[in-house]
Amino acid sequence: MRYDSLKEFIARLDAEGELVRVREKVSPILEIAEIADRVSKLPEGGRALLFENVEGSRFPVLINAFGSRRRTNLGLGDVERIARDIERYLKLPPPTGWVDKMKLLPMLFEAAHFPPRLTRGRAPCQEVVLTGDKVDLGLLPILQCWPNDAGRFITFPIVINRSADGRLRNVGLYRMQVYDRNTTGMHWHIHKDGAHFFHDFKRQNKTMEVAVAIGADPAVCYAASAPLPYGIDEFLLAGFIRKAAVPLVKCLTVDLEVPANAEFVLEGTIDPGEMRTEGPFGDHTGYYSQDGDYPVFRVRAITHRKDAVYHTTLVGKPPQEDLYLGRATERIFLPLMRTQLPEIADMHMPAEGVFHNLLIISLKKRYPMQARRLMSALWGLGQMSFVKTIVVVDETVDVQDVRAVASRVLSGISLKRDLFFSEGVLDVLNHASDHALHGSKLGVDATTKIEGEPGHGEPLRSASQDVPEAGRVAAHFSQLTGCRYIEVDASSTPVLFVALDKTRPHQGREFLEAFFAEPEFDSIAICIVIDQPVDLDDTSLLMWKFLNNLDPRRDILLHGERLGIDVSRKMPEEGYTQNWPEEIEMDAGVRARVEARWNKIYPSDSSS
């Protein structure tokens, strides 16, 4: 699947009935985000949105372009095919003779087209050039996504820079808070390649040149988000996906190359001695990420197409557009993971885990404790090192079927034997641990126990058929505002979620201890404490909140073969040193304004 520009992709979406053109006048301050949030939560991710009448800017806004499996496949091609192509190259046997070498020629010819190529002269992205006093980020319809965001943020910037020695290029997606007409923040997470390059410049006291492309062909957009190994050029991956080189053009004011067919390009520099507070920002976790000091990007030039489209995305409580890009990454990078861990059968990161909170892996099991070895290996492997919870099941379990996985976990494990705790690095957006950037991790070994392994030959735990009604638990403990069982199937242990009106430190753990001490509730094997506000009827949001707020070693309380988990908000008196963030919620006035115009914005025949 090859597109030479974002506009070609837009035309394809339009032709396939996957695009809604919004002609109603809308504001980039919160309104577009509210509309996109509603659409992303429609079945199959709704449709892509092209806002053609945006307050304060002449440029249209494209959002939710990759927000479904179908649109992701339309943009990149069949992601399963991409994975098979990668595997084909990885498993290429060395030629042993002249005939084998001849057989390789078609693949070598194809591979010769993958590396990016430099074009001469002015490119489409440089049809309009703004420098000096004409540089004004206010010309772009940059969004404020959520009410408590620190301002407007560029959320789909393709950020390009080079290492201090000039040998390596990095292309990544790093949000950019707009401070004024020509300066932004550069939100480089401490673990990301962009931050590594920045710290090299800082050690040498050298100014870093940076270019930012906004709106590129789908392969380039995806490659910028991909978790490639250090030193691998993202434009090379884009060329592999396109089966054609990405055309690049030299910037006009910095010594970097950018996609020639981009919609907008920002050129500028970062002084490693200049830092500024960035954030808060409503992030993909569904919570506001905390503010902090980050580098400042000073824009020297803005170039763009005459008829440019501003491409952006929204992140927040799942599902959002990033879910589908993440699913593409699952499939595309599975063959690469298998080169290091060939026992992996399949993998899945459910939406509720927001990528780094839950990984489900199926295992081709051959020897005792192999599941624990696999978990330990994954926690030392690139961006997998940030994953907080890993569940390992047999290869016979379909990891894409979360219900089947839950059934296996809730019927096939020993709560005392099969939970495995570790410590390590965590994503900077993880707010649950007592300290930033590191904390505890949980492994769940739900594989069938084999000879030589603890638990081999023991019967599976049978679910209690005589659990008390949830209302009896709520009536017994006045501090609870509600209770609900989640039951997967008849053979699985039901899980009791309780909503706690938390007003003081340690209240969640004290409740669990009192709960375990009450004989009336002995048949309830798993109880999870979650604090207000929470909708107990929404299973997806319950699991999202549970996975976000869990610090495994701190929050899990084992009582024999019973399990209590306290994922209520933690306080400083409980040893918590971070700032517990607010959940993202849209302003009620914005919701009302959008609701009043909804049929004009997103007609009923577009609701897919």
Instruction: Tell me if 83 sits within 8 A of 339, measured CB to CB.
Output: no
Of 220 and 95, the structure prediction assigns the larger pLDDT to: 220
Collapsed DSSP state (helix, strand, coil) of residue 54:
strand
Asked if domains 6-77+113-311 and 470-574 share a fold, the reply is: no
Topology annotation, domain 321-445: UbiD C-terminal domain-like (3.40.1670)
Instruction: Tell me if 287 sits within 8 A of 146, measured CB to CB.
Output: no
Q: State mean pLDDT over 139-167.
A: 97
Of 151 and 100, the structure prediction assigns the larger pLDDT to: 151
User: What's the pLDDT score for residue 194?
Assistant: 81
Calpha distance 481→282 (Å, rounded): 28
Among candidate residues 193, 283, 531, 551, the one labeled active-site is 283
Could you tell me the residue ranges of all domains in the chain?
A: 6-77+113-311, 321-445, 470-574
User: What's the pLDDT score for residue 532?
Assistant: 80
Instruction: Tell me if 316 sits within 8 A of 584, measured CB to CB.
Output: yes
Superfamily holding 6-77+113-311: Electron Transport, Fmn-binding Protein; Chain A (2.30.110.10)
pTM: 0.93
Q: State mean pLDDT over 275-302.
A: 95
Calpha distance 364→459 (Å, rounded): 22
| Reported confidence tier of residue 554, pLDDT bands at 50, 70, 90 | very high
Calpha distance 496→527 (Å, rounded): 5
Calpha distance 31→26 (Å, rounded): 6
| Reported confidence tier of residue 114, pLDDT bands at 50, 70, 90 | confident
User: What's the pLDDT score for residue 103?
Assistant: 55
Q: Is 293 considered catalytic here?
A: no
pLDDT per residue as tens digits for the range 526-547: 999 999 888 999 999 999 999 9
Maximal C-alpha separation, the chain: 81
The architecture CATH gives domain 470-574: 3-Layer(aba) Sandwich (3.40)
pLDDT per residue as tens digits for the range 408-440: 999 889 988 999 999 999 988 999 999 999 999
Instruction: Tell me if 386 sits within 8 A of 380, measured CB to CB.
Output: no
User: What's the pLDDT score for residue 45?
Assistant: 94
| Cα–Cα distance list, 221 to 66, 79, 234 (Å) | 10, 15, 10
Q: Does pLDDT of 101 surpass 80?
A: no
- The answer for residues whose C-beta is within 8 angstroms of residue 496's C-beta and 6 or more apart is 467, 470, 473, 483, 484, 485, 524, 526, 527, 528
Q: Does pLDDT of 497 surpass 80?
A: yes
Calpha distance 483→27 (Å, rounded): 40
Calpha distance 297→292 (Å, rounded): 15
Instruction: Tell me if 198 sits within 8 A of 307, measured CB to CB.
Output: no
Q: Does pLDDT of 464 surpass 70?
A: no
Instruction: Tell me if 586 sits within 8 A of 30, measured CB to CB.
Output: yes
Structure tokens at 257: 């190359």
Q: Which of 136, 134, 175 is nearest to 154 (CA)?
A: 175
Calpha distance 431→578 (Å, rounded): 7
Query: What is the share, in percent, of the chain residues with pLDDT greater than 70?
Result: 95
pLDDT per residue as tens digits for the range 360-387: 999 999 999 999 999 999 999 888 999 9
